[in-house]
Amino acid sequence: MSVLELRDVSKTYGEGASQVHALRNVAVSVNAGEFVAVMGPSGSGKSSLLTIAGSLEQPSSGEVLIGGTPLSTMSRNDRARLRRRTIGYVFQDFNLLAGLTAAENVTLPLELDGTPVRTARAIGLQALNELGLAERAGHFPDELSGGERQRVAIARAVVGHRNLLLADEPSGALDSVNGEAVMRLIRTACQRGVAGVVVTHDAQLASWADRVIFLRDGRIVDQTAPPEGPESMLSPSRQA
């Protein structure tokens, strides 16, 4: 089932001679459990695609559907609720609130959505525990390492029953081992049924995805075929 669908989406900024076409007639569909990476050079429209997919921005033309419902038919309040309940965001600079502990950062979207504090806290602690952060729950962001902060951001993005995870260069500031750990977490979330979209210019990170879409000058120019299963990839010597 398609969790996210972009139908013929275009986005332009500015007018007249200074008009910039950030996206041109983009069509993408991401199914539940699928992990898609979007690659492209700076200015190719990667970040616009993600903010439009996450209803943080509206397309100039075309339609975005989340769980089959067109965003254009929703009220502002409905879209805000969708962002709190359905969509998780992970940004390059983590965007954690400095005055809240790791656990409070994770539970904030649940509490904003009306989940009772004790229930939210239990769910948040479980999410942190699954990411190996149980003992850091009471720490503030500036007491955590970069890798830990990004894991908190991922816990916040997947907590509750979110089924769409959108990430913009989620391991941009991390070294390759921590970056790999972040991609493993996103992959694990997708294996539980979350639809994941990661935009990155990093080929090693993109190679964690099931499908890689190449964006250039606001257009999708190419994509990789879904990889084969692990068994078929082993060389004869490894299969022996």
Distance between start and end Cα atoms, the chain: 38
Binding site for another protein (CB under 8 A): 39, 41, 184, 187, 201, 203-204, 206-209, 212, 214, 216, 221-225, 227-228, 230, 232-238
C-beta closer to another protein: residue 98 or 225: 225
C-beta closer to another protein: residue 97 or 233: 233
Q: How far apart are CA 209 and CA 199, in angstroms?
A: 11
Minimum CB–partner distance for residue 179 and another protein (Å): 12
C-beta closer to another protein: residue 63 or 180: 180
Minimum CB–partner distance for residue 208 and another protein (Å): 6
Minimum CB–partner distance for residue 29 and another protein (Å): 19
- Please spell the DSSP secondary structure of 35-56, one letter per residue: EEEEE--TTSSHHHHHHHHTTS
C-beta closer to another protein: residue 29 or 224: 224
Minimum CB–partner distance for residue 175 and another protein (Å): 13
Q: How far apart are CA 14 and CA 157, in angstroms?
A: 32
Q: How far apart are CA 63 and CA 69, in angstroms?
A: 10
C-beta closer to another protein: residue 101 or 200: 200
C-beta closer to another protein: residue 110 or 220: 220
Other beta carbons within 10 Å of 103: 22
The set of residues, in sequence order, having a beta carbon less than 8 Å from that of 129 and lying 6+ positions away, is none
Q: How far apart are CA 167 and CA 208, in angstroms?
A: 13
Annotate 139-177 with three-state secondary structure: CCHHHCCHHHHHHHHHHHHHCCCCCEEEEECCCCCCCHH
Minimum CB–partner distance for residue 219 and another protein (Å): 12
Token code pair at residue 27: 């069509």
Minimum CB–partner distance for residue 217 and another protein (Å): 9
Minimum CB–partner distance for residue 4 and another protein (Å): 21
C-beta closer to another protein: residue 68 or 230: 230
The set of residues, in sequence order, having a beta carbon less than 8 Å from that of 46 and lying 6+ positions away, is 38, 39, 40, 168, 199, 200, 201, 215
